Amino acid sequence: MAFLNGPRLLDWANSPPHLQFNKYVLTGYRPISSVQECIKSLFYLHNELGNIYTHGIPLLCFLVLLPLNIPWSQISVMWLGVVHFLACLSPQLGSVVYHLFMNHEGGEPIYKTLLTLDMCGICMINTLGALPIVYSTLLCYPFTRTVALLIYILLSSYAIYCAITARSRVRRLRSFAWQALFRFSFFLLRWIGVGGGSPTSLRHFLTMDALAVLGGVINITRIPERFRPGLFDYWCNSHQIMHVLVVVSILYLHWGVLDDLLWINTYHCPSD
Ligand SMILES: [Zn+2]
């Protein structure tokens, strides 16, 4: 991907202070750049290139392939399909913009805005991504379903506020924890047989959350670069591993939601 000769890259100590968030990545920092220079950085090697492409390529693939893969004609609740599609795109969209422009000449204020955008992408998949799960779990309880959807949206709005105002990575991650708990309560309802949903989807959703948690832990613990600082500056560092795990986790969400959407179309509640 290194088509162009880029500018002289900086080491950790000489990079802008707001970009010094991983002391185990020693080299490959882009200098402060204009919008055009940031875009040009898509074509030469630097330490954010892997982060941009590990979410950029899946973003383009999802944009084209997901609408083709969703069986629209067999879905009875169309808005769930649309919400699911938007949920799958949102984390990569925020992430690509954040990683591409994080060294913008606007400095720390621009960096913080971009970080907020990245966080919003994660919040959006946590929020929108769970709506089809809540809907199908409570398919046969329309009133409870509406109340649960409203509560989840309201509480998610508060989680978004917490995530974008959090000062540390750990706090930021913690603000997503209750959303995960809410999801788990629905998984529990399915597991004990009270909640609805396709029999195959629960396994997909549990795999999804396990991969996302694993990605979060790897990102926070800075594994593997903490053991060999400098060796993973360009490729295979913790953040890139997390990006890949997030994409695989979204695929599991997609497979689970597809199963549920088709299940909704064929299932008849006992009271019907
Ligand atoms: Zn990222």
Tens digit of pLDDT for each residue in 143-184? 999 999 999 999 888 888 887 787 776 777 777 787 888 889
pLDDT band at 272 (very low <50, low <70, confident <90, very high): low
Residue 2 has pLDDT above 80, yes or no: no
Q: What pLDDT does 268 receive?
A: 87
Cα of 243 to ligand 1 centre, how many Å? 6
Q: How far is the CA of 58 from the centre of ligand 1 (A)?
A: 13
104 is in an annotated binding site: no
Please give the share of the chain, as a percent, with pLDDT higher than 70: 98
Which class for 3: exposed (0-12), middle (13-18), buried (19 or more C-beta within 10 A)?
A: exposed
Give the distance (Å) from ligand 1 centre to CA of residue 127: 19
Q: What is the pLDDT of residues 4-18, one digit of tens each?
A: 678 999 999 999 999
For residue 51, report the distance from its CA to the centre of ligand 1, in Å: 6
Its pTM stands at: 0.93
As a whole number of angstroms, the distance between CA 164 and CA 176 comes to 11
- CA-based diameter of the chain, in Å? 69
User: What is the structure's pLDDT at 44?
Assistant: 95
Centroid of ligand 1 to alpha carbon of 232 (angstroms): 15
Residue 197 Cα to ligand 1 midpoint, Å, equals: 32
Compute the distance from residue 117 Cα to the ligand 1 centre, in Å: 11
Non-local (6+) Cβ contacts of 180 within 8 A are 126, 209, 213
Q: Which of 198-211 are b and which e, b meaning 16 or more Cβ less than 10 Å from the residue's Cβ?
A: beebbebbbbbbeb
Does 99 carry a binding-site annotation?
yes
Overall average pLDDT of the 91-120 stretch: 95
- Ligand 1 centroid to Cα of residue 52, in Å, is 8
Tell whether 18 is in a known binding site. Answer: no
Predicted confidence band of residue 139 (pLDDT cuts 50, 70, 90): very high
Distance 260 CA to ligand 1 centre (A): 29
Residue 270, pLDDT > 70, answer: yes
Q: How far is the CA of 99 from the centre of ligand 1 (A)?
A: 7
Q: What percent of the chain has pLDDT over 90?
A: 81
Q: How far away, in angstroms, is 95 Cα from ligand 1 center?
A: 5
Topology of the domain comprising 49-266 = Rhopdopsin 7-helix transmembrane proteins (1.20.1070)
Ligand 1 midpoint to CA 219 (Å): 9
Number of H helices, E strands in the chain: 9, 0
Structure tokens at 20: 């010094």
From CA 239, how far away is CA 193, in angstroms rounded?
Answer: 38
